[in-house]
Structure 1
Amino acid sequence: MSKKLWCVFDLASKGEQIEKLETESMDPDFWSDNRKAQAIMQQLNALREEVTTWQGVAAQLNDLLGLAQLLEEEPDAEMQAEVVASLVPIEEQIEKLQFDLMLSGEHDERDVILSIHAGSGGVDAQDWAEILLRMYLRWAEHHRFKTEVYDYSEGEEAGLKSTTVGITGRFAYGYLRSEAGTHRLIRLSPFDAAHRRHTSFAKVEVIPDIENAIEINIRPEDIEVDTYRATGAGGQHVNKTDSAVRMRHMPTGIVVTCQNERSQLQNREVALKLLKAKLYELEQKKHEEETARLKGEHVQADFGTQIRSVTVHPYSIVKDHRTNYETGNTEGYLSGDIDPFIHAYLQDQAGGVAALD
């Protein structure tokens, strides 16, 4: 492991954070605010795990270095082969640690709320939105992240109009923030009798789940709540109930829905969480736009810019328009193999930190 990479990790700083949180957790009133306490303990455990992992890798490398020095003095072909073989899993672990170093944003460690909306393209766009949902669910499953579909609005003939999914796991938001934007699909339409080539669009929104981390005050009188019977794909997507909730924040016009839980109370709680996350995102966007305006920079009003295109006819290619990363393995990509695109985006944003040896 290079000294440069170890410095980027900054073990001393992590140790100070752990010490500070441990001191805070020993306060007699620590558990008086249960939500805040749980969030702090979650952060503390994650930091401990991170430091332990790095120290473990360093210890393994030091042991192998000792063996290598012995082999220089007394060569042993069989032992040398074992040392080389032992390096393979360590190199894989270091590669993952390098990847995680790029996830240093304010909310990168948090869970994520991901929404998909069918755009222009009619039935094809709704089918494309369904394909994207399946892709992200498979990606989450591969990473052993927990997923929960909060809301699912079926398409008229196929696919979906919109859906909102909660994905739980460390760095879930850090990974998936690269996916926010408009995604394009070019293919021979299965819904066109003439089997012509169609272009369809879907928008992906990615918001960190900040429910237990940031206080967002919402006045009860500013909320309008409707209940209705849930409709959806059923099965893996939505448990149909008679207590789905639609919540509207009147000052901003933001509307959220939840139809996944079995009781109206549970649906209200989830809807309120979604609303808090969207209000936080709105405030963040206003702040970024105002900062850019004061600096005289161009302000991007929304995630309207097309970020990635998937072409399956007349040739197969997936291309990210921000990083220019591309692959011809469209089947693997649509089956959830999106990590190379995430890695390319984070590396581009980090200015090359990922390329450290």
Structure 2
Amino acid sequence: MIAPTALELEEARRIRQEEVLHEYNLWDDLTRSNESLAALADAIKVVDDLKDLRYKAEEAKLITQLADMDIINHQLFKQAYKASLDVSKFLDRYEMSKLLNGPYDKEGACVTIQAGSEAIASEVWAEKILCMYARWAEKHGFMGRVVEKYPFKGGGVRLATIEFESEYMYGYLLGERGTHRMVCNSLDGSGVDEVIIFDLSCKFYALLNCFLTLWIMSSLQACSARVDVIPLFLDGPVDLHIDENDIEISSWSCEDKQPGCSSKPAVTVCHIPSSITVQSSGERSHFANKIKAMNRLKAKLLVVASEHGVSDVRRIKRGAVASEWDHETREYMFRPQKSVRDLKTGIQLLDLNSVLDGNIDAFISSHISFRQVR
């Protein structure tokens, strides 16, 4: 018996979803109806993608046959090569999507990068981590948007938030959560200029750069950036009720905490029982920032509750989140050997510059596989 193809399996799934919708009145249970409609839309999209994939594979096969007959030109070769790349990328995504079966894996992602407190170089390192994720999204055609950025006048950022509004981003990027540490074991200062960038437009800043470089050399081993990842719900607001007495909302201006920044009405929301705190400053109004901060808080609470196996967010223990935030995720070695080591899975890559340029798929895939085994 011949095993069914992926397209046949997905077609069967689409038919089952259509039958489910026909079995009951959509207005009887709106929650169930929305879930069924979303599942049907997902099944239809996968079927369409697989049909497109089959077309590209057949196209590449035809061009290969023409090449054997010596009736092909350079343009057709390029077309076949592009089609084969498209097929390979889709197969990788399709395989990963089948492994991403967590409760929020299909959602978008809100990624926050915060510079460590060890040294000035941490701010520049945090910006490099931000750029790494932006480049990764750009290479894959994902929609990534930097919504908050607190620059440091010596270079880099104190804190930045980037939102990925594509499906499965949370599942892909969940493994990035934790501390990303930059390690430089060189004592002669070599490699420092690779990390620290200052404005050398005048002699004063050039002199300041020399002093700061000497001072920072002693603390480069502790340079770090902390990354947090929460779901960005794509289909609407988070469905979670929080008692008003359990939250504390405060407002402040970005200019108060970061001189030179535009005076945006930022909002911080703290969940008192768990001490989980989030903020939003990327929107233009206080109301919009409050709504976004509340959505981020709800998303964070849902994730923590799921990970700790509690049904009521009020039962989340204080300090439960801090341990995850502080866990070391990855080491980036600048000296003596340029390499990157993932501490959760043991994966090590020997091309540091490539990783910082956004080529982190090996780490993402290994994290997804690691979660399945665990």
**TM (normalized to structure 2)?**
0.71
Output the CA distance in 2 between the equivalents of 1:17 and 1:123.
57
Output the CA distance in 2 between the equivalents of 1:98 and 1:52.
14
Shift of residue 258, structure 1, vs aligned partner: 0.9
- How big is the alpha-carbon RMSD for the aligned residues of Structure 1 and Structure 2? 4.0
Q: Is the 8 A contact 2:332 2:339 kept in 1?
A: yes
Q: Is the 8 A contact 1:244 1:258 kept in 2?
A: yes
The aligned amino acid for 2:112 is S
The residue number in structure 2 matching 1:184 is 181
The residue number in structure 1 matching 2:69 is 76
The residue number in structure 2 matching 1:206 is 229
Match of 1:221 among 229, 232, 245: 245
Please give the secondary structure, in 1, of the residue aligned with 2:85. Answer: helix
**Pair 1:285-2:282 in alignment:** no
Output the CA distance in 2 between the equivalents of 1:220 and 1:180.
29
Please give the secondary structure, in 1, of the residue aligned with 2:299. Answer: helix
The aligned amino acid for 1:49 is K
Output the CA distance in 2 between the equivalents of 1:304 and 1:11.
41
Output the CA distance in 1 between the equivalents of 2:179 and 2:73.
51
The residue number in structure 1 matching 2:319 is none
Shift of residue 284, structure 1, vs aligned partner: 1.5
Per-residue CA deviation, residues 25-53 of structure 1 (Å, 9 max, x unaligned), is: 983589x88xx95x876654443222111
Please give the secondary structure, in 2, of the residue aligned with 1:169. Answer: coil
Shift of residue 118, structure 1, vs aligned partner: 2.4
Q: Is the 8 A contact 2:110 2:162 kept in 1?
A: yes
Distance 1:343 1:62, change over 3 A: same
The residue number in structure 1 matching 2:139 is 142
The residue number in structure 1 matching 2:109 is 112
Output the CA distance in 2 between the equivalents of 1:213 and 1:10.
32
Q: Is the 8 A contact 1:183 1:308 kept in 2?
A: yes
Shift of residue 88, structure 1, vs aligned partner: 3.6
The aligned amino acid for 1:10 is L
Distance 1:255 1:334, change over 3 A: same
Distance 1:348 1:243, change over 3 A: closer
**Pair 1:336-2:329 in alignment:** no
Per-residue CA deviation, residues 165-211 of structure 1 (Å, 9 max, x unaligned), is: 32211221122122112211123444432673622122211111247
Output the CA distance in 2 between the equivalents of 1:9 and 1:283.
37
Q: Is the 8 A contact 1:183 1:309 kept in 2?
A: yes
Output the CA distance in 1 between the equivalents of 2:27 and 2:101.
31
Output the CA distance in 2 between the equivalents of 1:26 and 1:89.
46
Output the CA distance in 2 between the equivalents of 1:222 and 1:194.
44
Output the CA distance in 1 between the equivalents of 2:37 and 2:26.
13
Output the CA distance in 1 between the equivalents of 2:139 and 2:271.
36
Distance 1:260 1:303, change over 3 A: closer
Match of 2:217 among 187, 193, 196: 196
Please give the secondary structure, in 2, of the residue aligned with 1:105. Answer: coil
Output the CA distance in 2 between the equivalents of 1:62 and 1:229.
58
The residue number in structure 1 matching 2:90 is 97
Distance 1:253 1:60, change over 3 A: closer
Q: Is the 8 A contact 1:64 1:83 kept in 2?
A: no
Please give the secondary structure, in 1, of the residue aligned with 2:71. Answer: helix
Output the CA distance in 1 between the equivalents of 2:143 and 2:55.
32
Output the CA distance in 2 between the equivalents of 1:254 and 1:44.
36
Q: Is the 8 A contact 1:241 1:259 kept in 2?
A: no
Q: Which 5+ residue runs of structure 1 have no aligned equivalent?
A: 289-299, 352-357
Q: Is the 8 A contact 2:14 2:40 kept in 1?
A: no
Output the CA distance in 2 between the equivalents of 1:9 and 1:305.
43
Aligned residues: 327
**TM (normalized to structure 1)?**
0.74
The aligned amino acid for 1:192 is T
